[in-house]
Amino acid sequence: MVHDKFPLVGIYGGTFDPIHYGHLRIAEELLDIVNFSQFFFMPAGEPRLRNIPFASKCHRKTMAHLAVHDNAKFSIDEREISRSGATSTVASLREYRQEFGEKTALCFIMGVDAFLKLQMWYCWQELFRLCHFVIVGRPGNVQVMNNEALPSVLRNECMSRWITNASELEHESEGLVFAAKTSLLEISSTQIRSLIASNRSVRYLLPGAVYDYIRINHLYDGEG
Ligand code: ATP
Ligand code: MG
């Protein structure tokens, strides 16, 4: 069926404990690759599949806002971090679908490390009926496009969904998987937390405003 192109909405979920230049630079590169009309970072409240975050919801939310305040193209979606109880991406994406309607292409962005564990997520198969996936590489992980590296249930689900051209994302509202060729940036929140815990500098791994906020509030240094 021939129809107009759908506007593309990017949703970059994560614990963001703390948000860093890995997240931000990848998002900026994606804006050059995918024709997003809106782009949201969506910090998780209480993630189901990992330990309780180190920084409070309030601190993680504030750091996310500080990180994007000078970029009009980025917004923070507070729906998960404002909710009590465990985070469910599928619940958030159902809400997005309600809000944006059927004629919008929702794109959920994930690093390949996270995507490899997608089959552990609550109602994960429903996600393919709600959004596209845009997968980005991370150092030390398999190539994004290596379908063989995916766990078999995920490989089967993705089999007919891979696309190689970002413009195809605009032709469907959900259900496609696109591996974006972004830089491999060796930055992680784990690395940042452990540098701070051992009293080493994290300057230039994250925005200056986030760096200042972490220091003022003694986050991750055992005194916060
Ligand atoms: P942690 O070390 O605590 O797991 P993280 O750096 O992986 O933190 P998350 O909040 O867990 O950050 O990640 C949110 C999303 O961002 C995930 O999909 C993850 O794969 C992706 N991501 C994080 N850092 C990078 C990076 N440097 N390059 C590409 N994707 C990244
Ligand atoms: Mg992570």
Judged against a pLDDT cut of 60, whether residue 1 lies above it is answered with no
User: Cβ atoms within 10 A of the Cβ of 79, count?
Assistant: 16
Average pLDDT rounded to a whole number, residues 71-94: 93
**Confidence at residue 149, expressed as pLDDT on a 0 to 100 scale:** 86
C-beta of 16 in contact with ligand 1 (< 6 A): yes
74-83 per-position pLDDT tens digit: 999 999 999 9
How close is the Cα of 111 to the center of ligand 1, in Å?
6
Ligand 1 centroid–CA 53 distance in Å is 13
Tokens of 198: 């051992």
CB of residue 189 inside a 6 A radius of ligand 1: yes
Residue 113 has a pLDDT of 94
Crossing angle for the helix pair 21-33 and 57-68, to the nearest 10 degrees: 50
Q: What is residue 143's predicted lDDT score, i.e. its pLDDT?
A: 76
Report field, pTM of the whole predicted structure over 0.85: yes
